[in-house]
Structure 1
Amino acid sequence: MTAPAASFRSSPRVAIEPALLPWCALIALTALCLVLKTDFPWLVTFPKEWTLPLAAGVNAVTDAVVTVVQPAFRALSAALEAPMRGARLVLVWLPWPAVMLAVAALALKSSGIRLAVFALLALTYILLAGYWPQSMSTLSLVLLAVPISTVLGFALGVLGHTRPGLRPVLLGALDLMQTVPAFAYLIPLLLLFGFGPVVGLIASAIYATPPMVRNTLLGLDRVPSDISEAGLMSGCTRRQQFWHVEVPTALPQILVGFNQTTMAALSMVIVAAIIGGFEDIGWEVLSSMRKAEFGQSILSGLVIALLAILIDRLTIGFAKARPAGPTAAMTWMTDRRLAIVLALAAALAIAIRLLWPNETLLPATGLRMQVGGINQWLLGLVRDCAWFFDGLRDGVLYCLLLPLRIGISGAAVPAIWGFTLSPTANATYAVAVLLACALLLHRFNWRPALALLVAGTLLYTGFLGFPWPVFILGIALLAFQVAGLRLALFAVAGFLLILVNGLWGALVQSLYLCTLAVLLCLVIGGALGVWAAYSERVSRILKPVCDALQTMPQFVFLIPALMFFKVGEFTALIAIMLYAIVPPIRYVEHGLRHVRADVVEAVEQMGATPVQTLFQAKLPLALPVVMLGLNQTIMAALSMLAIAALVGTRDLGQAVYVALGKADAGMGLIAGLSIAFLAILADRLIQAAVAGRATT
């Protein structure tokens, strides 16, 4: 063998990963589509003549079915309306001193003296604000929706536990129930049940059922096998073993499901008010928002927030044992004493109504009647600070929202930015992106370089200017490499459904708004989570704030956003961020606090600085937990789309809301399923990515 030949054979070869090759082909296709989009505009804008009348077909089927089954559902509506109005009459009839006594006793038993004091303060505020009857009406809806959801959810959870073959179908149905906006399934409910509070009750029960199903499944699946075997060895029948062994063991997790079900039902009160709720607190929030009465909207929104926090703490206190054990007050309030106090509260209610049958015992003028000054003050604040709020809104709109939507190439015009991009500027931008990609490729690997290249292209063209064939193929390729062929086919089918129904423009609007909201939540929430992980004081401050944000119904977030920033995309962005910022805060803090101490100590002993320890040790180890937070952030952002549609967006949420106004069941269902598709696709992608990282 000659020396040159030996030298040639021993020279290293540049290895190209097989996973990179299809992305190279996709990059070439993207470049070709961008060059040809002027000559072939259908590459960017899907032609209307190519759409299919699927919504009209759904409407035809719906009309035929509704005509047949409507009498039965109207009869069911009448049957449900009687107990609903009866529960409202009973709660409104109860005098407030008796209600306060009963709730304080339950709070003392649930979590101790601090929750009892909070309960009394919250109920006192509701009383003084003048919203006591409306709050009782809201509780009547919750008290009827929660038992329906609890019984139905428990039954479905037991069915999924005992019949594993049905579990995939059941979990798929739960995903749809939790991700399809409530506005979407309000349309067929309105057609079946008619207009009125019963529709709100049914919608609340549907929305609140999945948490009970999932927690029942989780609790029964986690029953230790040795406990089940002990029950069988004791001679229990299958029914006895289930009710006397498995259910008591799973009860703490089932009670957590009851807590989440209650909160989900309460979060639907404003949606219920939209389609015919009686005089409840949801209607007060909605009507005050429509009138731009920000003082009333804040007062009534605070009522919902206080009720949500109080109910959450009450139910979670009964569901979960305190890590430090029960407090002295909890120990003192035995079951017998609790029963005595509740009996005294009932006797007090009867005595008050017998002695003062015509007295409401409510304040003659609540804060809501004297809030005109607050309205004027708030309007004055908004007017005096308009320079700041308008400047912030316009700055984000023209420098961030608009470029993401129409791209730098579309935003850089004299009417928006005051200049146009020259060929030199375009070439400089392209070179800068390519150089940054090359640096990432050299420093890390091809994946972050590819991500930066995609981000740079999207920022230049905008979501609206990006070719839809490339977008669909790119998501399908990503799904295939992360999770396999089934998810890739699911992605293609979902996007094609959106495309042929003429919703691609609305989809793009949803994607760019949710993408920006999620990125900002990750940056801001992640930074707060890191801060909380390193500071106990910050953690204590953020905990009640996060609790309040998590328990508030979605509509409440529109109040401050609408008050300061008026109608528009920026207002929707703020509302989405307020609702979606909690998961990154909590998951980042939790992930960093639970990193293995020995690994951190080893890194510190090697001389790493705190910043190096954070970015090179703690965050990589906490990445699976942080990814779960990303998952929850995306879910929260997508679930706010239909709510944000009330303040002027033009996305899939707006399509759902418009369909509700027109009673267009077909378009409402398709637009709602489109949002659910995005949520499920994102969930499956992130789950597969976390699972893949765990196995490596």
Structure 2
Amino acid sequence: MNRMRQIFAQPAARFWIILFAATWLLSKYSWDLYKALDARWIIKYPAAARLPLEDKISAFMQWLVEDASLGLFSFRDLTRFIASLIEGPYDFARSLLIEGFSVGLGNEAVEIAPSLSWIAIIVTLVAMGHYARDWRLAGLMGGCFLYLAVFGQWDSAMVTLASVLIAVPIGAIGGLMLGILAYRSPLFEAIIRPVLDLMQTVPVFAYLVPILFLFGFGPVAALVATIIYAMPPMVRVTIMALRNVPSEINDVGVMIGCTKHQLMWKVIVPSASPMLMVGVNQVIMLTLNMVIIASMIGAGGLGFDVLTALRRLDIGGGIEAGVAIVVMAIALDRLSQAFATRVAADHLVDPDLNLAKRHPWTTTVLVVAIGTFLLAQVLPGIQSYPDVATLSTGTFWSDVMAYINVNYFDTFEAVKTAFLSYLLLPVKRFFTGIPWAWGIFAMTLIGWRVGGLGLSIMTGLFTAFIAASGLWDKAMVTVYLCGVSVLVASAIGIPMGILAAQNDRANRVVNSLIDTLQTLPSFVYLIPVVMLFRVGDFSAMIAVVLYALAPAVRYAAHGIRNVDPQLIEAGLVSGCTPRQLLWRIKLPMALPELLLGLNQTIMLALSMLVITALVGTRDLGQQVYIALTKADSGLGIVAGLSVAFIAIIADRILSASAKRAKQRLGLTE
């Protein structure tokens, strides 16, 4: 009792307790209040006062595509020009990797040159792995792509690889240019930062609706969506990398007479290249993460195979295609990381050697490409991996899932029922019962309490936008699912991070697990979850928890490791047990990092929630998916903006809380 009085005596604690109690009471009795006062507006936002944004956006998009003129050319001409710039390199990449080069159309097409053989492509990737690091990476590259050939995923994998080969350079170079411009111009950075926030928080499905409208159905539209999705991290990493270049290096460049152009491209960018390659790695991983989603508007490849398997509930085929994406993601992730840490000085060659000896791998690749081309005229299996030699794990995975469902169905159902009864449904009733007017007021109050007047106005306006758009109910389902998923992810991830920070063996195991989870594209999580738990909120929660677990672990471990050793030493001297040391020193001092980890967990959870609309959720993600299936750009953009506003509100509130925690603990930014 004394402890409760102490807690309630604190102004901050009193604020949160009173706010939660008031919200709980209104949520529980909102329907009774509505019936007593006969005031429907308490529950439902008045239809007459809704913002007519959906129809206006749809009409604007229609005008943009059909009637908009930019003087010498129409907007449709502009989109066709952009599409042609992307389509040419993409067709070349597909021809080089899988289709071969031909002239003519349809039945009249005549092949003039075959694609690279599967052997030549594997040797090329082995060469890149050895060039970037060592034989170990070369073996990994060869093994991963040989797996794709042996298990019958080669053709689809090459279509996906062609998309990656086009999207990654455009995303990386475009992000680099925008980052350099933002580095040079504070005004441009101030303009582009909220744009980047929207690009990273608007659900990927929402990208697809206007892009489908502008570019039509097909691989070009899918590539445009992929580039938009993958570019923002490169911009942010570029700005950070350029600012982290030591001022001494800049000074040396100025002293030797470099122009601004020379200083940037010959001094600053090369000095920042290791961190810039980290950005390229992020572009690669986000591109692979997008391939399944982009298959909805014509990307094809492995993503289309996964999507088709999900729609047909083809367990074996879905897992096979999903594993193929994972294998490719692991290979490309390790290769890009190797290039990021590669030191050119370690790869110097004697300039007196002949060309072949100076560039042995290039020579080897050319010899193999020409040799396999010639041999393929006699042995077709040299050009394309022979079908009779392919293996399939589809039946195995189907049998495994069938065995699990038959023998452990009751256990899974019991776990599912327990979660639904004691966690999911009570939380859902709480959030879906919150009246929209009180929700706006409460969020405005929270913004003021945490970050002052500016944050208060922003949270209030964003929350009001969601209500005025007629999406309050869907938004509350989104908040409920995200909240529960983040709670479970934090309950699992933070202890894992603490354990990893304090035990080297556990750190190695946890890091391996988290690296694997971060490499998996988001759609891959849905396959086993749907097979084991069917569709619904519980399945969505499991998929979101798996996808969003990584930042909770990493930030917790980072926060615990960065606690000042002197504070730990002081705790030991004063006689603290390991438990007291953790709860009274390490965790309080790591609170800012834990809040930042919570922030990132929420961001990932929201991005995954939109994808879980495919497994039966009834939230904003479902609205975005419905908009995609109907090509309704107005609904898609409004629902996408609502998700983005929820993400931005969470981001700003948690960032402000982390800042306050650091100030309270006396930590510098």
Q: TM-score range by the shorter chain?
A: 0.7 to 0.9
Question: Would you say the 8 A contact 1:53–1:501 is kept in 2?
Answer: yes
Aligned position for 1:353: 373
Task: Tell me how far apart the structure 1 counterparts of residues 141 and 200 of structure 2 sit (CA, whole Å).
Answer: 30
Task: Tell me how far apart the structure 1 counterparts of residues 342 and 576 of structure 2 sit (CA, whole Å).
Answer: 40
Task: Tell me how far apart the structure 2 counterparts of residues 222 and 369 of structure 1 sit (CA, whole Å).
Answer: 49
Q: AA paired with 1:345?
A: V
Task: Tell me how far apart the structure 1 counterparts of residues 260 and 500 of structure 2 sit (CA, whole Å).
Answer: 48
The alpha carbon displacement at 1:242 in A equals: 1.6
Q: AA paired with 2:123?
A: L
Match 2:33 to one of 36, 44, 48: 36
Q: AA paired with 1:289?
A: L
**What is the TM-score with the length of structure 2 in the denominator?**
0.88
Does 2:136 correspond to 1:114?
A: yes
Question: Would you say the 8 A contact 2:444–2:460 is kept in 1?
Answer: yes
The alpha carbon displacement at 1:334 in A equals: 9.7
For the residue of structure 2 that corresponds to 1:640, the secondary structure is helix
The alpha carbon displacement at 1:122 in A equals: 1.5
Q: AA paired with 1:538?
A: A
The alpha carbon displacement at 1:16 in A equals: 8.2
Task: Tell me how far apart the structure 2 counterparts of residues 551 and 63 of structure 1 sit (CA, whole Å).
Answer: 39
Aligned position for 2:540: 572
Aligned position for 1:60: 59
Pair 1:570–1:339, CA change in 2 (3 A): farther
Match 1:378 to one of 401, 404, 413: 401
Aligned position for 1:600: 568
Task: Tell me how far apart the structure 1 counterparts of residues 425 and 592 of structure 2 sit (CA, whole Å).
Answer: 33
Aligned position for 1:625: 593
Pair 1:196–1:151, CA change in 2 (3 A): same
Match 1:264 to one of 286, 292, 306: 286
Aligned position for 2:108: none
Give the paired residue count: 622
Question: Would you say the 8 A contact 1:109–1:334 is kept in 2?
Answer: no
Aligned position for 1:88: 94
Question: Would you say the 8 A contact 1:106–1:338 is kept in 2?
Answer: no
- The C-alpha deviation readout for 1:91-149, integer Å capped at 9, x for no partner, is 12222222222222322333333322322221222121111121111110011011111
Aligned position for 2:197: 175
The alpha carbon displacement at 1:25 in A equals: 8.7
Match 1:586 to one of 548, 554, 558: 554
Q: AA paired with 1:681?
A: I
- The C-alpha deviation readout for 1:365-395, integer Å capped at 9, x for no partner, is 4666563354244224323322122222222
Does 2:329 correspond to 1:308?
A: yes
State the identity %: 39
- The C-alpha deviation readout for 1:299-337, integer Å capped at 9, x for no partner, is 111111111111111111211369xx99xxx76999987
Aligned position for 1:505: 473
Q: AA paired with 1:277?
A: A
Q: AA paired with 1:296?
A: G
Aligned position for 1:398: 421
The alpha carbon displacement at 1:190 in A equals: 1.0
Aligned position for 1:291: 312
Match 2:276 to one of 240, 243, 254: 254
Pair 1:188–1:684, CA change in 2 (3 A): same
The alpha carbon displacement at 1:496 in A equals: 1.3
Q: AA paired with 1:488?
A: S
For the residue of structure 2 that corresponds to 1:45, the secondary structure is coil
Q: AA paired with 2:129?
A: A
Task: Tell me how far apart the structure 2 counterparts of residues 159 and 312 of structure 1 sit (CA, whole Å).
Answer: 27
- The C-alpha deviation readout for 1:584-641, integer Å capped at 9, x for no partner, is 1111122212222221121012111111001111111122222211111000001011
Which stretches in structure 1 are left out of the alignment for 5+ residues?
1-13, 407-461
Task: Tell me how far apart the structure 1 counterparts of residues 513 and 17 of structure 2 sit (CA, whole Å).
Answer: 43
Task: Tell me how far apart the structure 1 counterparts of residues 22 and 227 of structure 2 sit (CA, whole Å).
Answer: 50
Aligned position for 1:149: 171
The alpha carbon displacement at 1:555 in A equals: 0.5
- The C-alpha deviation readout for 1:537-583, integer Å capped at 9, x for no partner, is 22111212111111111101101111100111111111100100111
Q: AA paired with 1:73?
A: T
Task: Tell me how far apart the structure 2 counterparts of residues 210 and 16 of structure 1 sit (CA, whole Å).
Answer: 41
For the residue of structure 2 that corresponds to 1:463, the secondary structure is helix
Does 2:525 correspond to 1:550?
A: no
Match 1:686 to one of 635, 654, 660: 654
The alpha carbon displacement at 1:270 in A equals: 0.5
Match 1:656 to one of 596, 610, 624: 624
Question: Would you say the 8 A contact 2:83–2:220 is kept in 1?
Answer: yes
Does 2:612 correspond to 1:615?
A: no
Task: Tell me how far apart the structure 2 counterparts of residues 161 and 103 of structure 1 sit (CA, whole Å).
Answer: 35
Q: AA paired with 1:206?
A: I
- The C-alpha deviation readout for 1:193-238, integer Å capped at 9, x for no partner, is 1110111111111111111111111111122222212221222222
Aligned position for 1:344: 364
Which stretches in structure 2 are left out of the alignment for 5+ residues?
1-7, 68-74, 99-114, 665-669
- The C-alpha deviation readout for 1:462-514, integer Å capped at 9, x for no partner, is 11112222222122111122222222111111111111111101100000000
Does 2:474 correspond to 1:514?
A: no
Question: Would you say the 8 A contact 1:30–1:470 is kept in 2?
Answer: no
Pair 1:55–1:371, CA change in 2 (3 A): same
The alpha carbon displacement at 1:75 in A equals: 4.2
Aligned position for 1:495: 463
For the residue of structure 2 that corresponds to 1:567, the secondary structure is coil
Q: Aligned-pair RMSD on alpha carbons?
A: 2.6
Question: Would you say the 8 A contact 1:105–1:116 is kept in 2?
Answer: yes
- Higher mean C-alpha deviation, range 78-87 or range 161-170: 78-87
Task: Tell me how far apart the structure 2 counterparts of residues 552 and 365 of structure 1 sit (CA, whole Å).
Answer: 30
Aligned position for 2:602: 634
Question: Would you say the 8 A contact 1:105–1:338 is kept in 2?
Answer: no
The alpha carbon displacement at 1:660 in A equals: 0.6
Question: Would you say the 8 A contact 2:23–2:434 is kept in 1?
Answer: no
Aligned position for 1:273: 295
Does 2:197 correspond to 1:191?
A: no
The alpha carbon displacement at 1:525 in A equals: 0.8
Question: Would you say the 8 A contact 2:439–2:463 is kept in 1?
Answer: no
Aligned position for 1:97: 119
Aligned position for 2:71: none
- The C-alpha deviation readout for 1:642-680, integer Å capped at 9, x for no partner, is 110000000111110001111110110011011111111
Aligned position for 1:442: none
Aligned position for 1:426: none
Task: Tell me how far apart the structure 2 counterparts of residues 619 and 483 of structure 1 sit (CA, whole Å).
Answer: 23
Aligned position for 1:425: none
Pair 1:37–1:365, CA change in 2 (3 A): farther
Aligned position for 2:79: 73
Pair 1:519–1:25, CA change in 2 (3 A): closer
Q: AA paired with 1:185?
A: Y
Pair 1:245–1:82, CA change in 2 (3 A): closer
Pair 1:15–1:620, CA change in 2 (3 A): closer
For the residue of structure 1 that corresponds to 2:575, the secondary structure is coil
Match 2:152 to one of 126, 130, 133: 130
**What is the TM-score with the length of structure 1 in the denominator?**
0.84
The alpha carbon displacement at 1:275 in A equals: 0.7
Pair 1:81–1:505, CA change in 2 (3 A): same
